[in-house]
Amino acid sequence: MLDTPMVVADRVSKSFGSNEVLKSISLEVKRGEVMCLVGPSGSGKSTFLRCINHLEVVSSGRLSVDGELIGYRETNDKLYEMHPREAARQRRDIGMVFQRFNLFPHMTALQNVMEAPIRVKGLSKAGVEANARTLLARVGLAERADYYPAHLSGGQQQRVAIARALAMEPKLMLFDEPTSALDPELVGEVLDVMQGLARDGMTMIVVTHEMGFAREVADSLVFMDGGVVVESGVPTEVLANPQHHRTQAFLSKVL
Amino acid sequence: MTHTTATGVETEPGIKAIRLRHPWRNIFAVVLLIIVALFITDAAMRPAYDWPAVGKYLFDQRISQAAFITLQLTVYSMVIAIILGVTLAIMRLSPNTVVSSIAWVYLWIFRGTPVYVQLAFWGLIGTIYQTIDIGLPFTEPWVSFPTRVALSAFILAIVGLALNEAAYMAEIVRAGLLSVDSGQEEAATALGMSWFQTMVRIIVPQSMRVIIPPAGNEVISMLKTTSLVTAIPFTLELYTRSRDIAAVTFETVPMLIVASIWYLFFTSILMVGQYFLEKRFARGIGDRRPDKKADDAAASLTGATPVVGSGQPTVVLPPTDPPQGDR
């Protein structure tokens, strides 16, 4: 079981009306692997990420996490749409961090982290609070536990968002451009936390424009453009010696 | 404190200037005060207001009972209107077209006709539907009783006011729900929260900030709209009761003043309640501290050095923030 990949995408396509955003994406993410998805905006990387936790419904193809098909149940070769309750159960184990943080503004940092374990897992408040404080300390925000998001900087908010996702003890973490909405001087503190997670063996898929992070931390790099995987491989190799002309064109602009 | 700019030039500590005078503004204020004072002294003397009669009837038992009934009408119909309004608002946002269309038609009818006309209809319900039957359609009813017995004028008044108000509350609630950033629902969903949990814990508390001010208006408006239930006819609320007393004693103006004082008393209490509710739901949003910029600066100074491009796998500790003593 440990050998099975964490995420398997098999010819995944996604259309919004007549607009085909993802065209037959096939890839695998192994346990403990950190994969960076890069590419120009509109290339479908965020959409693909959102398909993995069923925030978007795939139009065709199969997408499974930890050997379990996402969003559908398969019985006798027939696919049955999942009840929202089932989809919610699958999402519990998949953490997600958003570009715009999406912290709950009416709750303190601590309450943000405690909300899901209490409401979704039904755990006792005392245990959850101790764990939440540990997580906030892990992202370097122990002293800010009682601050509301409006009183935190962007980088601090994003670190709370990471702690909030970790509180559900996910087996997979999805990062949707986690540093794109940050002031340049705040990017480092968020990437540090993410690097710490990677070192602890978390399986991560990161949509990012931070090529330095991809080179240093990622095990694999996937370059997407126009809804297809153009090129993938070891980050240092892809970044140093891109094979496809579209990858070359993109990297020449961002590096 | 003086600031030294990048070029090293010291800026002046503060501005000392003669304040601009506004003579016309002051004259206007004085004129207004004189007019108000004249009106008050005149009203105090004018026999038509009959202040002794106002004092006599203000705490008359019939009036205070009527005031209590007005308050009951307001509270009961508002509670029903809010529950029904939330339901209608969620129905209007439903992806099912039948559900959302039914909510739309409800709004179209109940907002599109005057509440006075609706109340008159409710008064005639006993004539239109003479019995209330409980049972399966197209079969003999299990229980059947006359509508006039089952539904008193008081209940009809509440139903009439509530169903009309629900249409307005639905639009207020819908606006509130739509005002919450869609990222909030996504974040809650991604954490595995159910739709109901997302609504109750995340969306509704945030929408309250937008809902409460117009909803407070609606409560105050409802308090006054209760005077229309005479259309049913229901005659025991404040305004109709004052009119009935005036019809016997011929003290019309004093009775209007008595009713107005009671209405003002209730709306004043409601306004205080609204103030505290608004404060409660502004948590985390309404109380931004002015020194947020300083906060950002402090955070950026203490962030660890970026790992990007550092070239070797160094052990990087998560950044820690300083204790809060320096603020």
Chain A hits for B193, Cβ within 8 Å: 88, 115-116, 119-120
Chain A hits for B318, Cβ within 8 Å: 138-140, 159, 192-193, 196
Integer angstrom CA distances of residue A41 from A180, B44, B97: 12, 74, 34
Do B118 and B160 meet the contact criterion of CB atoms below 8 Å apart?
yes
Chain B hits for A102, Cβ within 8 Å: 181, 183-184, 186-187
Q: What was the pLDDT predicted at A207?
A: 96
Chain A hits for B322, Cβ within 8 Å: 143
**Residue-wise pLDDT tens digits, A170-196:** 999 999 999 999 999 999 999 999 999
Task: Please name the residue of chain A whose CA is at the shortest distance from the CA of residue B304.
Answer: A189
Give the gap in angstroms from C-alpha A188 to the nearest C-alpha of chain B.
4
**Residue-wise pLDDT tens digits, B275-295:** 999 888 887 775 544 344 444
Q: What was the pLDDT predicted at B19?
A: 87
A interface mutation test: which of B181, B184, B191 has the most A CBs within 10 A?
B191
CB contact under 8 A, B190 and A187: no
What rounded mean pLDDT belongs to chain A?
A: 94
Q: What was the pLDDT predicted at A222?
A: 96
Q: Mean pLDDT across the stretch A5-30? A: 94
Q: Which two tokens stand for residue B116?
A: 């006075």
Q: Which two tokens stand for residue B118?
A: 């609706």
Chain A hits for B295, Cβ within 8 Å: 151-153
Q: Which two tokens stand for residue B90?
A: 């969620």
B interface mutation test: which of A153, A200, A211, A219 has the most B CBs within 10 A?
A153
Chain B hits for A100, Cβ within 8 Å: 183
Q: Does B318 touch chain A (CB under 8 A)?
A: yes
Q: Which two tokens stand for residue B220?
A: 């105050």
Chain B hits for A91, Cβ within 8 Å: 189-192
A interface mutation test: which of B308, B316, B326 has the most A CBs within 10 A?
B308
At A183, give phi and psi (nearest 5°): -65, 145
Phi-psi region of A66 (alpha: psi -120 to 50; beta: other; left: phi over 0): left
Do B126 and B152 meet the contact criterion of CB atoms below 8 Å apart?
no
How far is it, in rounded angstroms, from Cα B109 to Cα B166? 12
Do B81 and B173 meet the contact criterion of CB atoms below 8 Å apart?
no
Q: Which two tokens stand for residue B314?
A: 């160094």
CB contact under 8 A, B292 and A138: no
Q: Does B288 touch chain A (CB under 8 A)?
A: yes
Chain A hits for B205, Cβ within 8 Å: 106
Task: Give B139's Cβ-side CA count (13 Å radius).
Answer: 7
B interface mutation test: which of A91, A119, A172 has the most B CBs within 10 A?
A119
Do B298 and A184 meet the contact criterion of CB atoms below 8 Å apart?
no
H or E stretch at B222: helix B204-225
Chain B hits for A84, Cβ within 8 Å: 194-195
Q: Does B306 touch chain A (CB under 8 A)?
A: yes
Q: What was the pLDDT predicted at B302?
A: 41
CB contact under 8 A, A151 and B192: no
DSSP state of A175: E
Q: What was the pLDDT predicted at A150?
A: 93
Q: What was the pLDDT predicted at B141?
A: 84
Do B304 and A185 meet the contact criterion of CB atoms below 8 Å apart?
no
Give the gap in angstroms from C-alpha B155 to the nearest C-alpha of chain A.
39
The residue ranges of chain B whose pLDDT is under 70 are 1-12, 286-327
CB contact under 8 A, B186 and A55: yes
**Residue-wise pLDDT tens digits, A191-229:** 999 999 999 999 999 999 999 999 999 999 999 999 999
**Residue-wise pLDDT tens digits, A27-68:** 999 999 999 999 998 899 999 999 999 999 999 999 999 999
How far is it, in rounded angstroms, from Cα B154 to Cα B233? 9
Task: Please name the residue of chain B whose CA is at the shortest distance from the CA of residue A197.
Answer: B318
pLDDT band at A2 (very low <50, low <70, confident <90, very high): low
Q: What does the CA dihedral A94, A100, A102, A103 come to, rounded to 10 degrees?
A: 110
CB contact under 8 A, A186 and B300: yes
How far is it, in rounded angstroms, from Cα B246 to Cα B54? 11
Among the partner residues B285, B308, B320, nearest to A150 by beta-carbon distance:
B285
CB contact under 8 A, B303 and A213: no
Q: What was the pLDDT predicted at B316?
A: 40
Chain B hits for A94, Cβ within 8 Å: 190
Give every CB contact of residue A98 below 8 A, 6+ residues apart in sequence: A161, A176, A178, B183, B186, B187
Do A234 and A220 meet the contact criterion of CB atoms below 8 Å apart?
yes
H or E stretch at B259: helix B252-281
Residue B5 Cα to chain centre, angstroms: 49
Q: Complex ipTM, two decimals?
A: 0.93
How far is it, in rounded angstroms, from Cα A34 to Cα A200? 11
Give the gap in angstroms from C-alpha A76 to the nearest C-alpha of chain B.
28
Q: What was the pLDDT predicted at B8?
A: 54
Residue with tokens 């925030």: A55
Q: What was the pLDDT predicted at B289?
A: 45
CB contact under 8 A, A102 and B186: yes
Q: What does the CA dihedral B317, A118, A91, B318 come to, rounded to 10 degrees?
A: -10
Q: Own/partner pairs for B47-52, CB < 8 Å, 24+ apart?
A: B48/B253, B49/B253, B49/B254, B49/B257, B50/B251, B50/B253, B50/B254, B51/B254
Q: What was the pLDDT predicted at B144?
A: 86
CB contact under 8 A, A104 and B318: no
Chain B hits for A88, Cβ within 8 Å: 189, 192-194
Give the gap in angstroms from C-alpha B100 to the nearest C-alpha of chain A.
20
CB contact under 8 A, A185 and B195: no
